[in-house]
Structure 1
Amino acid sequence: MHIQNKIAIVTGASSGLGRAFSKSLIEKGALVYGLARTEKVLQELKQDLKEKFIPVVLDISEEKKVEEWVTTTFSKENIPQILVNNAGLGSFHKIEETSFKEWSGMINSNLNGMFLITAAIVKLMKTTAEVKHIVNIGSVLGKVGRPESVAYCTTKFGVQGFSAALLKELREDHIKVTCLNPGSIATDFFKTSGIEAHQNMLQPKYLAHTLMHILETPDNMLIDEITVRPLNPKKPEEE
């Protein structure tokens, strides 16, 4: 795919990884709709990324609001070619210390929200013969378990299954589906479990480079799943 002049949607655009994805897509010439729940952060990102970034305040776990946004924003003449399902919540505690509110929040954001936005956008993607691409951001924790991460691991294992089934369903509609599974990333995502970000973790900008490589593969070539880890995940002082 040539990214120039394509329309892209990035969920969770206000996060470190979502910001990096949005920036790289715009640098490649795409128009990016950046979705997140916090208007202030999105407006700050708009100031940085300029006119090619369209901020959208939206909770993707709210079905009616997702449907309303998609139907009022897009049409058969204005179809997104790229969807990056990046939005996700993480809370890391022992299972008996994990509240149902935390569990439900992760299910709603990491799975229900991904389903709702994907189902709505796929309807439009199916109407053209050009190649489109959906990239779901999974995690290494969608492949292996981790203590004090039952809820998060459950959702990311779900992303794996969602991606694998969706690929088989959509490939004949010229829609690629990729599951990108990062290891530890240099953000504050795991701070609640006592893991502080450090320079040996994966850097968001390099994962954005990986995303661009996935998107720019030839039309009849698909990377269906890719796992990216730090070569050395230890803190520099522990090496």
Structure 2
Amino acid sequence: MKWKNKVVIVTGAAQGIGKALALAYGEQEARVVVADLHIEACEVVADAICRDGGQAVSVATDVRQIQAIENLIQQATEAFGTVDIMINNAGIGRWKSPYELSMEDWSDVIATNLTGTFLCAREAAKVMKAHKHGGSIINIASTRAIMSEPNSEAYAAAKGGIVALTHALAVSLGSDSIRVNCISPGWIETGDYEALRVVDHEQHPAGRVGRVSDIVKACFYLTDADNDFVTGTNLVVDGGMTRRMIYEE
């Protein structure tokens, strides 16, 4: 397996896309560091990987705090010796009118989604550089970086920042053999997929709503060492929705 014994850190791994990514890399025999603010849920994911014969540890991590991120990287290296892949998935949203969005709400979203992504990428890159083996960093952005619904200003700004941060880091870190890419998911259903309506699927050019497995496959592609010519890219995984022109009649 291509990821056997690779050390993979996933933030926001207690649920949703992050959980799916952690479990998927565990199935590929990677050594997984499950990071999230909610340690009990982290432990559930890590335990599931270990029960299936994999290797995993859980680390309580608030990506808004540099000390917590430094601790995450330290725990990863103490447990597994290095860091090969860093997946920055942790994120939150505040869906409020721009007239009502408080400074606290704005700052919390930017700190979690954008600043946290930068700091995690930087600290992981330090290990990759020091160990002289390079590595891969994946930042989870969103199609809201390039299209919007009302009342999503903080989230859109943070995700747009992640896209720009990704290509900046790719250029800065390339000489250290560190590739940096991002994925912009569209509608990825993390709940009851069977409860979706026909119209939910039909509005997508691909004919269906996305599954977490679609993001897993995108991550596998971008973290595959054979794809070493791919860096600085934003891979949009949205069933074609950002390419569909829609007018109201």
Aligned equivalent of 1:161: 164
Aligned equivalent of 1:114: 117
Question: Secondary structure of the residue that 1:109 maps to in structure 2?
Answer: helix
> CA 1:152–1:232 in 2, change beyond 3 Å: closer, same or farther?
closer
* Counterpart Cα distance in 1 of 2:43 and 2:23: 14
Deviation at 1:206, TM superposition (A): 2.1
The alignment-based identity, stated in percent, is 26
**1:57 and 2:60 equivalent?**
yes
> CA 1:73–1:18 in 2, change beyond 3 Å: closer, same or farther?
closer
Relative to the length of structure 2, the TM-score reads: 0.82
Whether the 8 Å CA contact 1:186–1:202 is kept in 2: the answer is yes
Aligned residue-pair number: 224
**1:202 and 2:210 equivalent?**
yes
**1:213 and 2:221 equivalent?**
yes
**1:43 and 2:43 equivalent?**
yes
In structure 2, list runs of 5 or more residues that go unmatched. 192-199, 203-207, 243-249
For residues 10-36 of structure 1, the C-alpha deviation after alignment (integer angstroms, 9 at most, x for no partner) is 000012100111111111110010110
Deviation at 1:198, TM superposition (A): 7.9
Question: Secondary structure of the residue that 2:162 maps to in structure 1?
Answer: helix
Output the aligned Cα RMSD. Answer: 2.3
Residues 36-185 of structure 1 aligned to structure 2 (within 5 Å) = 36-50=36-50, 51-71=54-74, 73-74=76-77, 78-185=81-188
Report runs of 4+ in structure 1 exceeding 6 Å deviation: none
For residues 188-210 of structure 1, the C-alpha deviation after alignment (integer angstroms, 9 at most, x for no partner) is 6xxxxxxxx98942111221122
For residues 49-107 of structure 1, the C-alpha deviation after alignment (integer angstroms, 9 at most, x for no partner) is 225221111101111232234235427x9210000000000121211132222212111
Deviation at 1:124, TM superposition (A): 1.0
In structure 1, list runs of 5 or more residues that go unmatched. 189-196, 234-239
> CA 1:182–1:73 in 2, change beyond 3 Å: closer, same or farther?
closer
Relative to the length of structure 1, the TM-score reads: 0.85
